[in-house]
Chains A and B, each alone.
Chain A
Amino acid sequence: MKKRFFCRFLIVLMIFAGLKFKSCPLFAQDEFEPTYPKYEEMIKNIPTVKELLTGKPVDWIVLNNDDVIIAEPVSPRPETLKKIEARIAESLKWPIPQTRAERAEQNEKRRLLPYLFITLRDGGENPERKIHKREIREIIHHEDLLLRRIGILQDEGDLALSFELLFNLKRRKPNWPTIAQYENRQLLAEGKRHYNEKRAEAALAVLEELHGRNPKFPGLKELLGDVANRLITDALNTNDYRRARHYIGRLQRREPQHPIFIKWRDDLSARATKHLNAARTASREKKHDEAAKSVAEAVKIWPATPGLRGAYDAMMRRFQTLRVGVVRFSSAETTNLLSTMADARQEYLSETPLFEAQGYFGSPSRDDAIYYQTKFFDEWEPNDLGRRTVFKLQIDRPYYQPQPVVTASDIAKTLRARIQPQSPDYDERLASYIKSFTVLSPSQLQIRFSRVPPRLESLLNFPLTMTQPESTRSKSATSTRSASPRFVPYRRQEWTENQQVFRRFLPEPENVPENRYHVAQVEEKTFDSHEKAIQALKRGTIHMLANVRVWHVNQLKKDERFDVRQYAFPVTHVLQFNPESETLKSRELRRALRYALNREDMLRKIALRTHEGGDPDYGRVVTGPFSSQSYATSGIVKPVQPDIILALALKIVVNRQHERAHNAALGPAMFVAISPDGEQNGYIPTLRMVIPPGEVTREVAEKCVETWDRIGLKVQIVPARQAIASGEWDIVYRKVKMVDPIVDLWPFLTFENRARVESLKHFPDWLRQELIRLDFARDWQQATETLRNLHQHLAEQAHLLPLFEVDDFLAIRKTVSAFNDSSLRPVHTYQNIEQWIVNPWYPPNAP
């Protein structure tokens, strides 16, 4: 013990002596110890990025005398000195050695504990050194040097480089003690930069991140306020309250007491209150539409306004608006050739047929396979074996009916307009059935038929509207039907480029309980894409999507908020040939076109997108222009398998036919001069194809063109409007939903909306006579038999080229009570809309 004490005393003496005599270095074992740079000099010259990244990593050991020793990275690190201290403290807990040797060993270890062992960067042959910890003031590690350089870069505004270095360091040393501080600095600097560069949205995102790391980071609160203020102001300048509320909400979530938040909250609340007051005034004056509009505006501005929620519920129940997302509107320029689902939607809102199809039972053997409903008749009874029917009209109109009571004389007027050949509404088919009609009383009408229709309801499936005569028609009117506006259930009120509004013709009465009101207005909004429409549905901007892409269906079905309904009829994609096209009169050419196409492949890859999660069960290859489940589908007809070799052979046959025709017409000498336009195309002229608008149709059409090109048939997609106007087209791509093929097939094949014999002029005799036979069928059985024969012959003659059918869906928010019968799939988008109820939905994300 005495010895140990003596030793320690000697050591202390020696140290003391060493301090006293400066010429004797305390730590150096080498007599040629170099002089070290001073800290003040070094700190001014922090290594550059290049040096730091490409050079060997070094640590700076700053001694108490301000000397800086540059050494290779020391260990342990980081916080080396603290760790040495901890190591020393730990050594006191070491177990007491049992033997002398152990004691010596422990002593030796303990002696070395305060020393930091370093390797000098330029230490020559013996670079190792040890330095006692008390000689060291600070150790600046390589990482700290990097961070200091990052700090300099941040100060200099080179944020890209600083971020890169920071990122690099973070990846390597994620837990380095001071790295977070520099990251925060980086974020603030980034936020400032975005803000200065007018990218407030990005600035806000960055600052929010910084706020999440350190809410009290110096300068953060002020900058956050400035950024949010700018964003809110910009949003309000464009009247985008939703966006403004979004930013206010973000600011509130970070800084609930921020003066900018308080300022805008008060401002918007005041604005909303103003609208709310206006809504209350309008409501008292029974101007329910204005009230609903004002209160909706108030909710849009600031949903958290006191008293707004109750008023909103009441007013929105009184005047209900259904907002529907669509991709396109019906166009006035749309022809029957390329009519779209949008046309059908608009037609349904603006016309009420005497009988309308409401569903399909899917049983082809029954004559009531199509379920028809009427809003005009209470009962109708066929007499005299169906040759005479007395229709009894509804005397009392349900309060929700958007049209006035219709009298027998109104229907008689429509019938007269439809059976008079001079009338623009003349319907040849109807006229051939109706012998006479008599108005028995204001509520009774008797129709005598010259022949019994197979299905009365499908014959009287026309609206109570009449076309205006040419002379009285307004030039600006887009629709030709308007002579009887009182029979229009919903009128188009407004129409802009991306929104159209339909308003109920007769409003519901005042004395109805609040929860018994129905849809008063339908607002259709267009979106650039289906994806954006789905986004709007999820946000609550719209209540309903009229058509959902099949590859989005399953995703929406999983969402509890929505009801995804399948339409009764799928959309059938058909390629139809121009009956006046001389080239396509060749059956061989039509068959060549058919054999070339791989329809299954196009269905899966383009229409269903099975590779993107589309359900393969939502589409099928079809053999006719109607649904595969339709009563018109003949079981004998099987889908044609693609056979490119046969297609090529048939094309060669057609080419030879055309060659012969050329030679015969021009003579051999001229033929040489006027040669065909290329080896590939041969003598067959380039065919022109028109397609309806739509992403899928275009892709399918392009695929068809590409496939036909492989067998040497040139087909060109031409602009639809001009081609249809001039009649210069050969193939048309049509999307069709054929509800009742007995009555719909003829107009479909002739590209018209009515069955006119004159329109069959250019058709081959067999087809013409079969269509006429179908039209003159005596009963349902004969009609369906004729129809199935017709299906078979259409397929065999390749008169048209059915591609596939794709199931159609709509998605509707469950706050809307629509489609009373859940088992029956709807035929129309707005089926019985006058009975729908839109329950008010308050935006949940109000700040």
Chain B
Amino acid sequence: MIVRILIALLLLLGGLHFAQANFEDVKSSPSVRKSDQQQDSDKKNSSRTGKSQPSGKKTKTPKPEVPLEFRPYRVRISLAIDWQAKIAPRLRQRVFADLKDAIDRSYGRMWTVEMERNRWLPLPGEVGLKRLTGDQLLERFRPQTESAPVPFDKLFVLTLQRRGPRFLLAGREWDTKSRKLSILEKTSTNQPREVGRKLFALLPKLFHPVFSIESVNGTEVDLRLQAAMFPAIDPSVAQVRVNDVITPYFRYLDKNHVVQKIRSIPWTYIIIDKVDQQFITGSMVTDRGGRLGTGRRRRVEVLGNLVRPRFSSSRLKMVYQTDETKPLVGYHINLIPKRFYRDKRTEPLIRRFSGRDGIVQIPVNPRFPIIWVYVYSGSALLARVPYCPGVSNNETIPVPDDSIRLAVEGEISLLKNELIDVVARRATLMALAKKISDDESIPAAKKEMQIDEKFAMIAQLPGIEEFEDKLTKICYDAGKNAEKLKNRFAVRKIKKMWEDTSKLVAKFLDPEPVRKFRQELREAAKK
């Protein structure tokens, strides 16, 4: 008993000392901690301008803002232990102690940790974690007043279960800024003494560092990283490395700097190019320019979370833009590992074919974190997006509906068949006429009659007008329909097909060569 008391005292003292040390380093008063806690809701100053803003009615004096790099993560670890696991109190204490020890040893001042025994998770285990949603957590940790802060930056909900001699451990991270729940990570052990260590091993996998996007210049992006000034003691859990990928998002705030909306930016990634403690630069990879904007608007924060591939591949589901319940079945997809879409391909092309559920499997390429996904319908490119595989298990791409264009293409293809038939017949009849003309055994009068007959047959074949009429009928109706559905992609493609086919018809059904040929035969007959 005495030993336990002594250990508790030592821990308490150690914790106080550690907290003090943190705050001394950033040269701020003890009230800084409070100020940090209020960062999310107060937002007196935007991170870019640094100007002070009124935080709410109750706030009277502006408080100095701590730059993001100097702000350690406020981390809460909530460990749920299955009551059926029958964990002895001693072991439970040891788990908490081991976990805390390991965090301190690895993250050091980067994290300020608060630990609790979770008693609110209905099913303390993998199932409970799977059922957990961001909205549930937001509801649970929503402050009483709108402007009040959430008391942590990161919440790690961990669970401990027991199946026979085996301890099953799982966890998820909830980021209060992006309000996103991470995927579930799990592990297991047979050794009770390893439970704390194994639980800790889940944390680096779950932890998503937070970035602030400062400026965008073309594809170059300047970033700031939270707690960049407090590098991890253990380099293996360093926050960022070159070639890491960040997924950006916008946070829209109201005039009280309360978050109104969080919007993720689709198909946009930032790849880290250079890390020099707090000076971080990266390249923006996006399907189209201007996703992040060049200037900053008031009350909009552009943040990002670092993501690391957790799976060997991802399932990318393609759906129609017009109806996201309808999968894109039977389409060719090309995967090209490269950074920017204008880059030349250095890796072999990966060909995929979407299945009945519109899903294709995209493997992780260790050399290229980003893979460009090209979706084709025939020769038409429907979509071209960058994608970071392995981060999530499933992803969905909405793709323009190509059915109208495809239908037109089919109709035009049939029209081309007819055109080929007509051209072939015309050529055959001309050849026959030439043969008759060259045949000296046929009397001149009869020859003339026979040649006339062949040219009469040529004249009866469908001409440019007939084909143009058919073409107009095919393309006009379809074009109108596409316009009505606001399918600009289809409108553009139909227009192009119309023009191309029209040129083809004009070229091959030009009556001039036939007329000239007739003339030649007549002259030959006169001679």
The answer on a CB contact under 8 Å between A428 and B427 is: no
Whether B427 contacts A757 by the Cβ 8 Å rule is no
| Chain A proximity of B471: nearest CB distance (Å) | 16
A833 within 8 A of B: no
Closest chain A CB from B377 CB (angstroms): 6
Task: Verify A765–B424 contact, CB threshold 8 A.
Answer: no
A16 at interface by CB-CB < 8 Å: no
Interface residues of B in 163-198 (CB under 8 A from A): none
The answer to whether A757 and B355 have CB atoms under 8 Å apart is: yes
Q: Is the CB of B413 within 8 A of A797?
A: yes
B157 to chain A, nearest CB (A): 30
**Given A757-B353, A772-B329, A766-B427 contact (CB < 8 Å):** no
Q: Are B406 and A588 in contact (CB under 8 A)?
A: no
The reply to whether B330 and A648 form a contact with Cβ atoms under 8 Å apart is: no
Q: Which of A432, A760, A771 contacts B357 (CB 8 A)?
A: A432
A769:B406 contact, CB within 8 angstroms: yes
Query: B residues within 8 A CB of A797?
Result: 413-414, 417
**Chain A interfacial positions (CB closer than 8 Å to B):** 428-429, 431-432, 587-588, 591, 645-646, 648-650, 652-653, 757-758, 760-761, 764-766, 768-769, 771-772, 776, 793, 796-797
Report the minimal beta-carbon distance from B298 to chain A, rounded to whole angstroms. 47
Name the distance in Å between B421's Cβ and chain A's nearest Cβ.
7
Chain B residues, Cβ within 8 Å of A646: 421, 424-425, 428
Tell me whether B417 and A760 are in contact (CB under 8 A): no
Residue of A nearest to B326 (CB): A776
8 Å CB contact of B414 from A645, A652, A796: A796
Interface 0/1 of B399-414, CB less than 8 Å to A: 0000100100110011
Q: How far is the CB of B481 from chain A (nearest CB, A)?
A: 17
Contacting pair B330 A769 (CB below 8 A): yes
> Do the beta carbons of B417 and A587 come within 8 Å of each other?
yes
- CB pair B417–A591 under 8 Å, yes or no, is yes
Q: Which A-B residue pairs are the 6 nearest by beta carbons?
A: A649-B424, A765-B378, A766-B410, A649-B428, A768-B330, A772-B329
The residue on A at minimum CB distance from B424 is A649
Residues A653 and B420 in contact, CB atoms below 8 Å apart: yes
User: Any chain A CB within 8 A of the CB of B354?
Assistant: yes
Chain A residues lying within 8 Å of B332, measured Cβ to Cβ, are 761
Chain B 329-383 interface residues, beta-carbon cutoff 8 Å to A:
329-330, 332, 353-357, 377-378
Q: How far is the CA of A761 from the CA of B406 in the complex (A)?
A: 16
Instruction: Please name 5 further chain A to chain B contacts, defined as beta carbons within 8 Å, in addition to the given A650-B424, A758-B355, A768-B330, sorted by A numbering.
Output: A587-B420, A645-B428, A653-B424, A765-B378, A796-B417
Indicate if the CB atoms of A429 and B414 lie closer than 8 Å: no
| B417 partner residues in chain A, CB cutoff 8 A | 587, 591, 796-797
- B35-80 interface with A by 8 A CB criterion: none
Give complex CA distance A757, B329 in Å.
Answer: 8
Q: Are A649 and B329 in contact (CB under 8 A)?
A: no
Q: Are A761 and B353 in contact (CB under 8 A)?
A: yes
A760 pairs with B330, CB closer than 8 A: yes
CB distance from B494 to the nearest CB of A (A): 15
* Interface contact B410-A758, CB-CB below 8 Å: no
Residue of B nearest to A428 (CB): B356
Residues from chain B with a CB closer than 8 A to the CB of A653 are 420, 424
Residues in B403-448 with C-beta less than 8 Å from chain A: 403, 406, 409-410, 413-414, 417, 420-421, 424-425, 427-428
Inter-chain CA distance A649–B417, complex, in Å, is 13
Which residues of B are interface residues toward A (Cβ below 8 A)? 329-330, 332, 353-357, 377-378, 403, 406, 409-410, 413-414, 417, 420-421, 424-425, 427-428
Residue of A nearest to B332 (CB): A761
Output the least CB separation between A213 and chain B (Å). Answer: 72
Partner of B428 from A428, A648, A758, A793 at Cβ < 8 Å:
A648
How distant is the Cα of A768 from the Cα of B406 in the complex, in angstroms?
11
Complex alpha-carbon distance, A648 and B427, angstroms? 11
Q: Determine whether the beta carbon of B356 is less than 8 Å from that of A766.
A: no
Give the interface centre of B330, B355, B377 by most chain A CB atoms within 10 Å. B330
Chain A residues near B353 (CB-CB < 8 A): 757-758, 761
* Chain A: minimal CB distance from B176 (Å): 37
Q: How far is the CB of A750 from chain B (nearest CB, A)?
A: 12
A404 to B22, CA, bound (A): 78
Tell me the minimal C-beta distance from B374 to chain A in angstroms.
15
Contacts A650-B424, A757-B353: A765 and B329 contacting too (C-beta < 8 A)?
no
The complex places the Cα of A793 from the Cα of B411 at a distance, in Å, of 9
User: Closest A-chain residue to B421, C-beta based?
Assistant: A646
Please determine whether A432 and B413 come into contact, CB atoms closer than 8 angstroms. no
Tell me, in angstroms, the Cα distance from A768 to B329 when the chains sit together.
9
Contact partner of A588 (CB less than 8 A), chosen from B329, B403, B410, B420, is B420
Name the distance in Å between B180's Cβ and chain A's nearest Cβ.
29
- Whether B420 lies near A650 (C-beta < 8 A) is yes
Q: Which residues of B contact A432 (CB under 8 A)?
A: 356-357
14 CB contacts below 8 A, A to B, read A429-B356, A432-B356, A432-B357, A646-B425, A646-B428, A648-B428, A649-B425, A650-B421, A652-B424, A757-B329, A757-B355, A760-B330, A793-B410, A796-B417
Please report the C-alpha to C-alpha distance between residue A103 and residue B83 in the assembled complex, in whole angstroms.
159
**In this complex, what residue of A is CB-closest to B407?**
A766
Please state if A765 and B421 are interface contacts (CB–CB under 8 Å).
no
Q: CA A143 – CA B428 in complex, angstroms?
A: 77
Which chain B residues lie closer than 8 Å to A587 at the CB level? 413, 417, 420
Cβ of A708 to closest chain B Cβ, rounded Å: 17
How far is A591 from B409 in the complex, measured between Cα atoms in Å?
19
CA distance A809 to B392 in the complex (A): 59
Query: Hey, which chain B residues are within 8 Å of A648, CB to CB?
Result: 428
Report Cα–Cα, A648/B425, bound state, in Å. 10
- Whether A428 touches B355, Cβ cut-off 8 Å, given contacts A772-B330, A796-B414, is yes
Q: Which residue of A lies closest to B378 (CB)?
A: A765
Assembled-state Cα–Cα distance A764/B356 (Å): 17
A765 vs B355: C-alpha distance when bound (angstroms): 14
Report the bound CA distance from A771 to B406 in whole Å. 13
Query: How close is A105's CB to chain B, nearest CB, in angstroms?
Result: 85
Output the least CB separation between A619 and chain B (Å). Answer: 28
Q: A760-B330, A772-B329 are in contact. Are A766 and B406 (CB under 8 A)?
A: yes
Minimal beta-carbon separation of B455 from chain A (angstroms): 16
* Alpha-carbon distance A432/B409, docked complex (angstroms): 28
- Give Cα distance in the complex from A772 to B403, angstroms: 12
**In the complex the two chains form, what is the Cα distance from A425 to B414 in whole Å?**
39
Cα of A150 to Cα of B223 in the assembled complex, Å = 127
Q: A757 contacts B420, CB within 8 Å?
A: no
CA distance A757 to B417 in the complex (A): 28
| Nearest neighbor of A653 in chain B, beta-carbon distance | B424
Given the complex of chains A and B, what is the CA–CA distance between A428 and B353 in angstroms?
15
Chain B residues with CB under 8 Å of A768's CB are 330
A residues in contact with B428, CB < 8 Å:
645-646, 648-649
Residue of B with least CB distance to A587: B417
- The docked-state distance in angstroms from the alpha carbon of A648 to that of B432 is 13
Q: Could you say which residues of chain A place their CB within 8 Å of the CB of B329?
A: 757, 772, 776
Query: Taking CB as reference atom, which chain A residue is nearest B403?
Result: A769
Cβ A765 vs Cβ B406 within 8 A: yes
Q: Which residue of A lies closest to B380 (CB)?
A: A765
Given A587-B417, A796-B414, answer yes or no on A765-B356 (Cβ-Cβ < 8 Å). no
Chain B residues within an 8 Å CB radius of A758? 353, 355
CB neighbours (8 Å) of B354 from chain A are: 757
A residues less than 8 Å from B403 (CB atoms): 769
In the complex with contacts A432-B357, A796-B417, A765-B409 CB distance below 8 A: yes
B132 to chain A: closest CB distance in Å? 24
Give the CA-CA distance A595 to B338 in the complex, in Å: 49
Question: Closest CB of chain B to A311's CB: distance in Å?
Answer: 61
In whole angstroms, how far apart are the Cα atoms of A429 and B155 in the complex? 43
Q: Is the CB of B424 within 8 A of A766?
A: no
Q: Which residue of B lies closest to A792 (CB)?
A: B414
Interchain CB contact under 8 A, B424 and A757: no
Chain A residue nearest in CB terms to B431:
A649
Residues of B with C-beta under 8 A to A765? 377-378, 406, 409
What A residues does B424 contact at CB under 8 A?
Answer: 646, 649-650, 652-653
Q: Contacts A429-B356, A649-B425, A766-B406: A757 and B414 contacting too (C-beta < 8 A)?
A: no
CA of A757 to CA of B318 in the docked complex: distance in angstroms? 15
